[in-house]
Structure 1
Amino acid sequence: MDIAHTPASPEGNPEMADAASQPKQPQLILRSDYKPFPWLLPDVSLDFKLSLEKTRVSSRLEVQRNPNAVPSPVLELNGDGITPLEVLIDGEVVNSWVLEDDKLLISLSGEAHAVEVVTEINPSTNSQLMGLYASNGMLCTQCEAEGFRRITFFPDRPDVLSTYSVRMSGDSVQFPVLLANGNCVASGRHQDGTHWAEWHDPWPKPSYLFALVAGDLVARKDQFTTMSGKNVELAIWVREGDLERTEHAMESLKRAMKWDEEAFGREYDLDLFNVVAVSDFNMGAMENKGLNIFNTKYVLAEPDTATDGDYDAIEGVIGHEYFHNWSGNRITCRDWFQLSLKEGFTVLRDQLFSQDMGSAPVKRIEDVRVLRSIQFPEDSGPLAHPIRPDSFREISNFYTSTIYNKGAEVIRMMRTMAGEERFRKGTDLYFDRHDGEAATCEDFVQSIEDGAGLDLTQFRLWYSQAGTPKVTVRQEQDGTTTRLHLTQSVPPTPGQMDKKPMPIPLALALFDRQTEEHRGEELIVLNEAEQSFEFSDYDAAPIISLNRGFSSPISIERNVPREDLVFLAARDDDPFARYEAMQDLVVSHLVSALRGVLSDADRADGQEAILKAFSAILEDSALDDLMRGELLILPSPAYLSEQLETSNPQAIHEERERLKAWLGTQCAGQFEALHQRASGGAYSRDAAARGLRKLKAQALIYLAAGCPEKAAKMAAAQYHSADNMTDRQSALIALAGLDVPEREEVLDAFYKRYQGDALAIDKWFSIQAQSLHPKAIEHVKALAKHPDFTLKNPNRVRSLYMAFAANPHAFHAADGEGYRMIADCILALDPINPQTAARFVPPLGRWRRIEPGRAALMRAELERIADAKQLSRDTFEQVSRSLG
């Protein structure tokens, strides 16, 4: 499953009864308490009588005692907000069952039985979007992590693997398309106007991978021939009118299928592969076996409505969910503590895929930017947890950047240490050993250890210790010998005060000052608290390029001379290291300014050094424009905040904007020339054209800060002449932050052009919520009352409020109004969609790292949320942990 990282008044409480029945203090679940389920369920049959308001579900479970588990006389089936209408054992109706805390308890005396349960649900009132729910007249499901129990009673845990047969029947006009997991084995029509379809999935799977879709849909169809010659029918299902926007998604799917065969030897294993786009969806997408369900955001694209970033995201998410077929479906998780087993590994796979499909250096930088802006703050805050947690209260709260992004980095480190060839041997061994099983993170590490010939005993600490390791670097020159003295520490996190040293692979290169070249890249591994490494035959202290390619997800502290950073930013042949030097140059300057240790002379020197590096980037003819655009991006406010023990968000914003404005002024001529160069040529999706669009955007950003009146005219002209969304959006972003006449005119033009296009209007909301405009808070308040805003659609809620929470100068307004707005959103959203509501808590939970005045206001809002009645389990856990 892909988590959505898209950076009010209540609209009714259809789920209030559910919320009232939930305990305020959820049960703590411990990884150490894991026990196999006492019963096996080899075969499951489901019969759905479909209706938007009243769907009847009949389940038949073939159960057998599990010889590898502690026996139990009771079959315990999970439910959530449902009631059994009828229970049968071996064909006989029984009334001896007990419903206790939403669990259906059935006493069984024999070794094997057929258990049937009938339930009835109302998909149209399911605003949680978990289980079976209605979305604009269609029915669809989301069962990960614990949504299946909202459909029927079942042992809803990932280690119960079953083969599913599904029969659906419903009105043939309302639901002309009936889809489920696996292959369609039969279909037909009834005389009453209804029709039916039967689906069978031959591969055992857990209940969280169950999927069903029924609705009025059309499909883009294609075929793929696997490496063994098997023909697979492909279909991407969307609503009428959206079909033309599915070409990129289909091409991405075919590329992903081919890439997985070549890179990991994985072949698809069903006759059909279906993708359905749904407009109401809590996450990004879901990897249900053979029937992937996607947020429309990650399927629909055409140049007029989708940016280059949207195209990249669609390709990456399509790949991610497809790759789950092996790393998640064929091998699934034993329990939810092992979530990173499938998600961390699959994120790495989708990252490598995207690297191979486009610019590998740019993709690597983008991935690290996400890690630093989301996961690093998570790792240093109250919600910090290892990639394999020891406990949880509400599993939906553990779909985090730590599980996904840090999990991917940890597996990438194993790949770095093993090398690509030996890593592939390890993954082949993993797939061979555990195909068809519910596995653990330890199973994966052991397979890499055995297949790659590595000793990963100490490396396993990466799975059990939270926190971002900090590595301190000191360079010493003794004659012709260079010594690198490294120390590592893992900071305390909730529940883990003392940490052990972990293996940290560091790719490095030493540039000779005379030749300005290095002798080749090498890999060292820091596996002790303190360690020194020697390098010979350097007449003068070399310039060290460290953690090349971001070989480890760590924070580095070292004193690098400013001129060395300028050299690396201009000359390093490792693209990430070059980007990192530019970031370090800016970070060191801004952090010094924020700490108040810069004299006027130091400030001037620092700015001149940054300008020199910028000029080298702008003038480097050997640099491709996609990479040039990356190198021009300043460190984010979130990353700058992480460099300070306690931060003042407004001060960070002001210093960053001050530098941006100075660069915009100093380089105005260069940025104007750059914008003019980039404005020529027809629209294309090739790398060169995408690079030019990226440069146009960066030029406008700097000019808007340094020369706002000129930038406003350039942005308005770019908007009106644009033939694609990338250019149109970058112009609108520049204008949205300026107090100029062109702002309202272009915002109005954008809205009128795209009114009715949900994904484009999401952009319209988000751009205004994230803008640098001094009245951003007032704008967000007005947008919350806009006719197109609703709390019932997760994309729309995120487009306004999550974007606002990422706006440093508005969210962190000194009077606390931004905090109140997010708290009000959480309280209004929680009864409607608690999973989405809970994701708005972490921005408030950062109060410990904020200056005292704002920290008190943030904490007060958390306390107000905690005091609310009928708070969901999801939100309660996030708030209570954030308060500590």
Structure 2
Amino acid sequence: MNDLSGQPVVAPTVIHRADYRPPQWLVPEIALDFALSLNATKVQATLKVAKNPAGTDTSLLRLNGDAIEPKSVTVDGQAHNDWHMDGADLVIELPGDTHDIGIETLIDPSANTQLSGLYASNGLLCTQCEAEGFRRITFFPDRPDVLSVYSVRMSGDKALFPVLLSNGNPTAAGDNGDGTHWAEWHDPWPKPSYLFALVAGELVANRDNFTTKSGRKVNLAIYVRPGDEERTTHAMRSLIASMKWDEDVYGREYDLDDFNIVAVSDFNAGAMENKGLNVFNTRYILADPETATDGDYDAIEGVVAHEYFHNWSGNRVTCRDWFQLSLKEGFTVLRDQQFSADRGSAPVKRIEDVRILRAVQFPEDSGPLAHPIRPDSYQEISNFYTATVYNKGAEVIRMMTVLAGLERFLKGTTLYFDRHDGEAATCEDFVKAIEDGAGLDLKQFRNWYEQAGTPRVSVVMTLDAANPTLEGEAATLGGRGVTLTLKQTTAPTPGQPDKKPFVIPLRIALFDRETGKHHGEELIVLTEPEQSFTFGGFTSLPVLSINRGFSAPVEIVAPVTTEDLVFLARHDDDPFARYEAMQQLIVRHLVGAVAGTLEKREESQAAIGAAMGAILDDTALDDLMRGELLILPGEAYLAEQLTRADPTRIFAEREGLKRWLGETLKDKWLALHDRVSAVPYSLAAEARGARKCKTQALVYLGAADPAEAARRAKAQYDAATNMTDRQGALMVLCSLECPEREAALADFHSRFAGNMLVIDKWFSLQAGSLNPKATEHVKALAEHPDFTMTNPNRVRALWMAFAANAQAFHREGGEGYRLIADLILKLDPINGNVAARFVPYLGRWKKVEEGRAALMRAELERIAAEPTLSRDVREQVSKSLEA
């Protein structure tokens, strides 16, 4: 078989979950000795290996490698020649059951642009080993079910590497007297190789401490570049808060004497939970009001908590294999969501989480890369660090809390930690622990782990005849019964044409139209393809509020009229349901307008205007929630409601509605902007809500009255005392054609020159703007001296903002598709992990109208013709073309 260029294609290796076998050899202990250098780091590894009684008896020890070569191999202290290379792996013939294996490797960290393994970042040395980066450092059975106790020694130039850090606790340090020094670290807790970490370089620390509930004093440090230490205060507070919360809520106590965080500017992901030494992307550590938005503050708090919570849900109990990734990630996302909800506004946090799920995961679930939260196979594990594994994984576990109640759910998690502490566990182990601890039957619930796709629940509501035969509590209410008939369907996904029914817990309330009240919230659990539920006490058909709190990650198709949605948007006592009613009111209008099925546009617009006007006038509503209710549904979510979407039509209709609302409610937007502009800066909820509303008011004014919006935005920009106000104003200006735009952009770049994170915002604001010249701006920015292809943050700042910008990316003629395909081909040899993240933007071609779909597919075929693609990109492209 040849590819499109005529080159022979090597069939990719597919790893199947069903093929799992226990490791043949274990490594109870490993000692690592690093002679550090930016260009030539020498690694001496000593592995104590032992045959696994649960494995297959073999004399061959296979140690994984990637882009490294053994300089020497010893067995039990003696030179050993009975070894060979099998591809990238080192295979050693061993006659006995236990041995000490010595291996020396030499690494060039400065040449490691993949940022996996040991690499250099602006003079620092640091590691990233999840998922399979450790094999780029030394040869090892690099799989998560091989747990080892690590001892690490590092030595290097004292001027270049004054700080030497690794996992666990420091045990010794010294000076060699020749300009070099050394440090030793020991981690007493067995861990998989993906949790190994090392950082060396010129760093300064913000230090604090935390005393655990059992009285252990833990030394805390956040290491950053000199000059950045003042911007770590919020991260340190977040760390201390998360340590206390995990003790109070989950009963989990920290287990080492030291907990260290290091922030680096070159990082493929957001952060990494390495045992005792978390490595973070700087964007999730550094913050002050001048350089970080309210969203940045929230993200830092959430990510710091997430990585700390991994100490138990991921480290003390880790994954048996990478198919179990959601075991640690889905569970830990739920934990960080719960933490953030407790720390701030729980309703707003829930809305934010669902908005992300719908914008990213729902499209993933209906596209060519759809997969269950526990996948069945993969070619490259990096491609499964997805919204499905993380965000949907969290929603699936959240449903267990809905079914069990939080108290019983926590009993289940305690049982899980007690049973599997120090083990490499499976998703099944987690479900079984919740089942046993909470007293639930989760047999059918396991379908959520086995099946991809977003279930759709259709609802029919009928008012029954007078005096029906009712049972239980419904009978005591008298009146007539209301029957809800629910039907669940899930569309076919790749490799799964037929779906078993899911367990779907739905919180509902039935509102009396006259009184505006309901009898109380009910939990109904849909387990069959079709099922009916009857409720008593009604004289007329009530207003249905369903999936309250987003109790299940499903799509609801319910018989709710426009009048009902307006009613719920004004009166529903569940904050999420109120938000949902407003969203559905707008979605119904926009989808109908795009599809050409909207019959009464003026009446539909008027209903939306009335509901939004009521939100603006509601003095009982706090501004944090008001700001959420004012945000229009995203274009990606709107596209999901259509079989094949015209992205430019969606954009035009959405902008048209925004303009109409801006014009119709102009006086209210002006009054809102004036009111919230008077609220002084602080991180209190009142002030944060005011800033959110301030930006939304400018957004609507920008659509309705560009000149007034430009004047106000420039005034807001000039008067800003914080990044939230400054960025909000600049975002609006970027979308306009006005003199204020260029002046503000020039000032922003000059004001923050040299601050990488803030200049990332400068790139993103322009690439994601509604300006009709956005594509030309992006092409110019790609040639800007501040742009680089080697820093993932900078690449994402420019090109992901562009790819998510529908009116630019989907511009007629396919130029946006060509730009992203060119980027993937150029970026892949530098960093395949980051390059692969751009493929799904093209991979959604089947959801787009046919003309653009052909152009998108052609670019995927052009990428596929490149014979040297990384596994990351090759898998994403091939699956996208197969769909």
TM over 0.5: yes
Distance 2:502 2:866 in 1: 42
- Number of the residue aligned with 1:245: 231
Distance 2:513 2:135 in 1: 65
Matches within 5 A, 1:157-556: 157-479=143-465, 480-556=480-556
- Number of the residue aligned with 1:143: 129
- Number of the residue aligned with 1:742: 740
- Contact 2:9–2:867 (8 Å) recurs in 1: no
SS at match of 1:537: strand
Task: State the Cα deviation string for residues 591-646 of structure 1 (Å, max 9, x = none).
Answer: 111111224xx000000000110011111111100000000000000000000011
Task: State the Cα deviation string for residues 275-294 of structure 1 (Å, max 9, x = none).
Answer: 00000000000000000000
- Number of the residue aligned with 1:677: 675
- Contact 1:24–1:876 (8 Å) recurs in 2: no
- Contact 1:375–1:406 (8 Å) recurs in 2: yes
Distance 2:257 2:452 in 1: 42
Q: 1:71 aligns with which of 49, 57, 65?
A: 57
Deviation at 1:515, TM superposition (A): 1.3
Distance 2:328 2:235 in 1: 23
Distance 1:136 1:26 in 2: 35
- Contact 1:162–1:206 (8 Å) recurs in 2: yes
Task: State the Cα deviation string for residues 466-499 of structure 1 (Å, max 9, x = none).
Answer: 0000001111112411111100011100000000
> What do you get for the CA RMSD once the two structures are aligned?
0.9
Deviation at 1:560, TM superposition (A): 1.0
Any stretches of 5+ residues in structure 2 without a counterpart?
A: 1-6, 466-479
Deviation at 1:25, TM superposition (A): 3.5
Distance 1:483 1:475 in 2: 6
Distance 2:693 2:783 in 1: 35
Deviation at 1:869, TM superposition (A): 2.6
2:125 corresponds to 1:112: no
- Number of the residue aligned with 1:130: 116
Deviation at 1:124, TM superposition (A): 0.2
SS at match of 2:863: helix
One-letter identity of the residue aligned with 2:148: S
- Number of the residue aligned with 1:634: 632
One-letter identity of the residue aligned with 2:542: P
One-letter identity of the residue aligned with 2:720: A
Q: 2:15 aligns with which of 10, 23, 29?
A: 29
Q: 2:71 aligns with which of 76, 79, 85?
A: 85
Distance 2:598 2:285 in 1: 49
SS at match of 1:145: coil
Distance 1:65 1:159 in 2: 14
One-letter identity of the residue aligned with 1:799: A
One-letter identity of the residue aligned with 1:189: D
Task: State the Cα deviation string for residues 774-806 of structure 1 (Å, max 9, x = none).
Answer: 000000000000000000000000000001000
- Number of the residue aligned with 2:833: 835
- Contact 2:544–2:560 (8 Å) recurs in 1: no
Distance 1:272 1:410 in 2: 33
One-letter identity of the residue aligned with 2:487: T
Q: 2:769 aligns with which of 771, 775, 778?
A: 771
- Number of the residue aligned with 2:814: 816
Distance 1:608 1:374 in 2: 30
One-letter identity of the residue aligned with 2:396: V
Q: 2:871 aligns with which of 866, 870, 873?
A: 873
Deviation at 1:23, TM superposition (A): 7.8
Distance 1:123 1:472 in 2: 55
Say how many residue pairs are matched. 862
- Number of the residue aligned with 1:658: 656
- Contact 2:462–2:484 (8 Å) recurs in 1: yes
Task: State the Cα deviation string for residues 147-194 of structure 1 (Å, max 9, x = none).
Answer: 000000000000000000000000001000000000000000102110
- Number of the residue aligned with 2:855: 857
Deviation at 1:682, TM superposition (A): 2.1
Task: State the Cα deviation string for residues 422-466 of structure 1 (Å, max 9, x = none).
Answer: 001000000000000000000000000000000000000000000
- Contact 1:25–1:873 (8 Å) recurs in 2: no
Deviation at 1:116, TM superposition (A): 0.6
Distance 1:431 1:873 in 2: 35
Distance 2:66 2:107 in 1: 11
Identify which range, 513-522 or 793-802, moves more after superposition: 513-522
Distance 1:796 1:98 in 2: 41
Matches within 5 A, 1:693-842: 693-842=691-840
Any stretches of 5+ residues in structure 1 without a counterpart?
A: 1-20
- Number of the residue aligned with 1:575: 575
- Number of the residue aligned with 2:563: 563
**Percent identity of equivalent pairs:** 66
Deviation at 1:513, TM superposition (A): 1.4
- Contact 1:184–1:199 (8 Å) recurs in 2: yes
Distance 2:785 2:362 in 1: 37
SS at match of 1:743: helix
Task: State the Cα deviation string for residues 731-763 of structure 1 (Å, max 9, x = none).
Answer: 000000011111111111111101100000000
Q: 2:89 aligns with which of 77, 82, 103?
A: 103
- Contact 2:287–2:297 (8 Å) recurs in 1: yes
- Contact 2:679–2:690 (8 Å) recurs in 1: no
SS at match of 1:536: strand
SS at match of 2:862: helix
Task: State the Cα deviation string for residues 41-68 of structure 1 (Å, max 9, x = none).
Answer: 1100000000000000000000111111
- Number of the residue aligned with 2:610: 612
SS at match of 1:467: coil
Deviation at 1:222, TM superposition (A): 0.0
- Contact 1:838–1:874 (8 Å) recurs in 2: yes
Distance 1:738 1:539 in 2: 54
One-letter identity of the residue aligned with 2:586: V
One-letter identity of the residue aligned with 1:832: I
Deviation at 1:24, TM superposition (A): 4.9
Distance 2:229 2:299 in 1: 19
Task: State the Cα deviation string for residues 632-665 of structure 1 (Å, max 9, x = none).
Answer: 0000000000000110000000000000000000
Task: State the Cα deviation string for residues 13-43 of structure 1 (Å, max 9, x = none).
Answer: xxxxxxxx99854200000110011111110
- Number of the residue aligned with 2:469: none
- Number of the residue aligned with 1:3: none
Distance 1:445 1:348 in 2: 15
Distance 1:322 1:24 in 2: 41
Deviation at 1:559, TM superposition (A): 2.8
Distance 2:766 2:712 in 1: 19
- Contact 1:418–1:452 (8 Å) recurs in 2: yes
One-letter identity of the residue aligned with 1:760: V
Moved over 3 A (4+): 21-25
Q: 1:649 aligns with which of 641, 647, 669?
A: 647
- Contact 2:710–2:736 (8 Å) recurs in 1: yes
